[in-house]
Each structure stands twice: as structure tokens, then as C-alpha cells.
Structure 1
Amino acid sequence: MTRRHDVCERILAPLDGSGLAERSLAYAEALARRPTSEVILFTVCKPGEALERPFTAYLEKKASELQASGIRARFSIAKGNDAGDEILRAAEREKVDLIALSSHGRSGYKNWAMGKVTTEVLQRSRTPVFLVHSLDPEVEPVPGGFKKILALLDGSKFAEEILPHVQGLAKANQGQVILLRVIEPGGIPQT
């Protein structure tokens, strides 16, 4: 079966209970507007933590909110010491097409560019990641879809694997793709 790159059938939305992490939900909802799409809300509890019950109630509420707006949604909770590892395992186990992830979560502003978990997921994921800059309150999904999509490339074949997904998303939204490759001063790209 050929996988369609213009459709996000299964979207993993990792949450940690913070408002910053929730910034990705509006984008996951916008990407999951097809009747066959599904958003899987996901969180990680450390072994021995008494947070599973509160997180279950929290994720049930968030799933219900998505369902009320017509989105198929469910949730999953994993136990582990490394949230990044658990997110990557969940993405593989659930066979998701996309991970919708906020740049910062519960730890907030400790790292100005991205949180530790986000950095780990971006560096190691084999699944495309839709990164939402959670520190900018002005950034919200635009009605009508994604009109400009920035794809970051580093010259590797691995980075280019995202291009069919980006092209499909742009086509589905009648949008424009902007390709960006940063070359350090004095650096000459290898072709």
C-alpha cells in the first residue's frame, strides 16, 4: 500500500499538563480535519509517581474537547524515566504519520530555543515532527490551513525524506513550501 503524504491519518500529540505543551493541540486539530484522521494524546509518568490518575482525567478532558469539535481522539499513558524515548516508542507503536510537538513544555524557558524533550525527539525521530513554537502567543493556526511551510534541510538524504510530507501538506492547503538550508560562514555545501 502506498502511503499518502498529503494526509495525516494518525497524529501523536505529547502533553505534559502545561499550557505551553498544549499549544500543539490547535495544530493537531487543524491537521486532523479529515473524517479518517485521529489524534492520539500522549503523556509519560515516571514509575512510582502518583500522577497516572490525574493525567488520565486531564487527557480524558482534552480528548473530549477534541471529540466535541469533530476530531477522533483517544489517549495513551506510558511509564518511563525518559519522556523523549517514550514519545518515540509511542510514535512507532501507534504507527503515526506525524508528531505534533510544542517547543517547550513543563520545564518552560530553561532552554530558550527548545526544551530538552523536544530537542531529543527532533534529533532522533524517524517520524515527521510538526514543531509548534509555544513561547510566541501570537502564533495560532490560521483558518483555511497552512499557507507557508518552512522545511529545514541540511544536505542529507535523511533530511530530504520530509519533502514528500511537506509537499503533500502544502498541496492539501494550497500553500507554499520554503526550503531553508543554513550554511555556516566559510562552509561550502557538499553536493
Structure 2
Amino acid sequence: MFKHILIPTDGSPLAEQAVDRGIRLANGFRAQVTLVTVTEPFSVFSLKPLQLSLTESEYAEAMQQRGRDLLAAGAALAQELGVPLDPVVIEDEHPYDAIIEVADARGCDLIAMASHGRRGVSALVLGSETQKVLTHCEIPVLVFR
């Protein structure tokens, strides 16, 4: 049914569960997987210690390495199951935009991702990347809870 599944992760426990479940789903469909994580761009006006202590190029390399580290467990599971996997680390201020962009560019026919896990006022105020993907994407989205 599905031939190419995009699975985004931010490294949170819920997202890692979705990675595991998404790769196993891909195995059942004999689909390939694009596993993606989105890093935050460097900002001169940041108060985050990592951005204050590194140059822009050092920060970019640190974020690429962090992204590769986040994708390592999923890549290992895919290899163990024989699922073709392409790991992608992309930088964007808006993770939902990057997720949709990568899915479109790679010809994915399903996005499988975790729900945000927030409830109540924090969900209304902060929103979630999952909700934004659901709102702006034309590709089917499977949400794992």
C-alpha cells in the first residue's frame, strides 16, 4: 500500500516510539523510509548556551552531529529489519515546513509521526508540529499516540 514513509523525530521518548513503530510498519509494507530530524538555525540573538559559545559554522556542525546521533537508533533498527532507510538532518525555523518539504521532495506517500503529547491550555497556546503537519500537508499522516 505505502512505498515510501517519512518518519520525523525530535529525539523525545514519544517520537522514538513512533520511529520504532513507523519502521516496523514500513517493514510490513516493504516500504522504504526517510528518517528526518529538523535542527534549529543559528541565531545571533539567541540566549541558548550552545549558540552563544560556538561560531556559526561550529554550531552547524554540532547540530548536524546531534541530528545524526538522533537518527542512529532508527537507522540501526531499519538495518536489522532490512528496511531501506535514508537519514536526513535538515535545518529550518519551522520543523513542520521542513517535514512537509522533505516528504514532497522525496516522493513520500505517508508521514508517520508522534502526537505532541500536550493537553489543555499548553496545547492550545503552543500548538504542535504534528498539528501543523496535519493542517498544511496533502500527504496522508499517521499519528502514533
Report the TM-score, using the length of structure 2 for normalisation.
Answer: 0.75
**What is the CA–CA distance in structure 1 between the aligned matches of 2:21 and 2:127, rounded to whole Å?**
19
Report 1 or 2 for greater relative contact order, CA contacts < 8 Å, sequence distance ≥ 6.
2
Match of 2:136 in 1: 124
- What runs of 5+ residues in structure 1 fail to find an aligned partner? 1-6, 134-191
Match 2:106 to one of 94, 99, 112:
94
* Letter in structure 2 aligned against 1:81: E
Provide the C-alpha distance between the structure 2 equivalents of 1:87 and 1:8, rounded to a whole number of angstroms. 18
Task: Kindly tell me the number of residue pairs found equivalent between the two proteins.
Answer: 124
Whether the 8 Å CA contact 1:12–1:96 is kept in 2: the answer is yes
Query: Structure 1 vs Structure 2: percent identity of aligned residues?
Result: 30
Per-residue deviation, 1:23: 2.0
CA RMSD of aligned residues (A): 2.2
What's the counterpart of residue 8 of structure 2?
A: 14
Report if the CA contact (8 A) 2:20-2:77 is conserved. Answer: no
For structure 2, list consecutive stretches of 5 or more residues without a partner in the other structure.
43-58
The residue aligned with 1:56 is 68
Structure with the larger helix share: 2
Contact 1:35 1:71 in 2 (8 A): no
Amino acid of the structure 1 residue aligned with 2:41 = P
Does residue 37 (structure 1) correspond to residue 45 (structure 2)? The answer is no
Matched, 1:82 2:94: yes
Describe the superposition over 1:84-109 as per-residue Cα deviations: whole angstroms up to 9, x where unpaired.
Answer: 1111101100110100010027xx66
* Counterpart selection for 1:28 from 15, 22, 38: 22
